[in-house]
Amino acid sequence: LIKVFWYILIKEVMAMIKRPSYINEISKVIDVPIVKILAGVRRSGKSIMLELIKEELLDKHVPQEQMISINFEDMNYSKLTTAEALHDYLKQKIETVNGRAYIFLDEIQEVKNWEKCVNSLRVNSDADIYITGSNAKMLSGEYATLLSGRYVEFTIYPFSFSEYCEARRIENENKSINEYFMEYVKYGGLPFLATTPLDERAKTQYLKDIYASVVIK
């Protein structure tokens, strides 16, 4: 399972589509004192968007040392799934940063009362905060009261058709535009399917699993 996880991660990073339509909008609020929330369906590419934002910061000459990243799907951070524990951990990290801290929290819905932690850091720290979460838990309005007027939300969708074609070409799949289109209609634009060579049965099973997770559960 660990090998499969790293294979998926490496494949996603290697085939990182720039997605300028999102980055152009998000870059407008970099360093603006509001929380940036990236929400979307499972496996739509939210984690990769965080990596693209980091690239944007590096292009703006922000040192890597000022960036603090946590992915809550990583068991190494399993002890940080309460607002209090996460707050204490991040406060210590922020104190070691020379200048503004840029905080990236992936799959934040795994943290109980996360919005209290994020709001406290927003008020009391020199930090620019970016978080991701799945639609099912992030779009329920749970954080609307505490962060009201203090966040901006971006919904991240799977690849558009043009992004899908770009991903397939990166994978050296030199097919006609019509062939790409028929694939896109059949399988959709989930980044993993666009960047990983799988047979039809495996692709269908992957889509069934996503459907079960997103819709049925």
pLDDT in tens, the chain (217 residues): 544 443 454 444 445 688 999 999 999 999 999 999 998 888 899 999 999 999 999 999 999 999 999 999 899 999 999 999 999 999 999 999 999 999 999 999 899 889 899 999 999 999 999 999 876 566 555 566 677 778 899 999 999 999 999 888 876 667 889 999 999 999 999 999 988 888 999 999 999 998 898 888 7
How far apart CA 50 and CA 18 sit, in angstroms, is 11
* Global confidence as pTM: 0.85
How far apart CA 111 and CA 11 sit, in angstroms, is 27
